[in-house]
Amino acid sequence: MQNTTHFIKNQILNETSYKLIKAFDVFELRKYTPSTMVEIIESGNREDALSSALNKIKFYLNENNLKRAKSDQAVLPYVVMQRLDRGKKWKFEFFLQNDCYKLQELKKDKPEIKIYQFKERYFATIKVTGLLSNETLIERTLLLKSWIAKEKLVINEAPKIAKYKSFWDFTFFEKREIMIEVSR
C-alpha cells in the first residue's frame, strides 16, 4: 500500500510541477508540465472577488469529488488571478490534481466555471514581497517585462498574480509572484 501511495504522490507531482529553466535574482523562467485548471470569473475588488471564487471552487470540487493541487506539495499556486477589462472583474484559475478518470466525468453544467487542460507552457516569474498594492504590482510587472525583453522572450498573455499557500495560514506568509506566459 505504501508503494501505491508513493506512486500516486509522484504521479501528481510529475503532472503538476515545473522545471526551472533559468533563474536570476528574483526572476525565473519555468517550463510547466501539462495541467488541468478550473477558471472562474468574478466581479468586485480583488479580495471580495477572490473570496467568492474560493467559495465556488470549494462547492464545485466537493460536488465532483475532486481536489485542488496542493501548492505545498506540487509547486503550483493555489490560485492565479488576472484583472480583466480595466474594471472590477477578475479571472481566477485553480489547478487540479490530474486524475484523467475523474476529469472526464466532471459536471459541466455551470456556465461560470470553465475547465481547461494545458500542454506544457513557459512562464517568466518575479517574486512579490510586502503588500499587494497596485503600485507594487505595477513596479514588479514592469521589472518582469524588462527582464523578458532582455532575455528575448515573447509575451503570450497578460500578467497574472499567483498566490501559494504557506505552512501558516496567514496572508502575510503567502508566497506571491507575478507570472507571464512566454514563448522562447
The residue among 156 and 112 whose pLDDT is bigger is 156
| Section 150-160 average pLDDT | 94
* Contact predicate 124/142, CB 8 Å: no
Least-confidence region, from 4-8, 148-152, 161-165, 172-176: 4-8
Using alpha carbons only, give the angle 124, 77, 98 rounded to the nearest 5 degrees: 105
Local structure of 93: helix, strand or coil: strand
Domain locations along the chain: 14-183
pLDDT number for residue 7: 38
Where does 85-153 show beta strands of DSSP type E?
Answer: 89-96, 113-118, 121-128
Cα 34 from chain centre: 13
Give residue-wise pLDDT tens across range 1-49: 333 333 333 433 344 468 889 999 999 999 987 777 889 999 988 889 9
pLDDT range class, residue 184, cuts 50, 70, 90: confident
Which fold does the domain 14-183 belong to in CATH? Multidrug-efflux Transporter 1 Regulator Bmrr; Chain A (3.20.80)
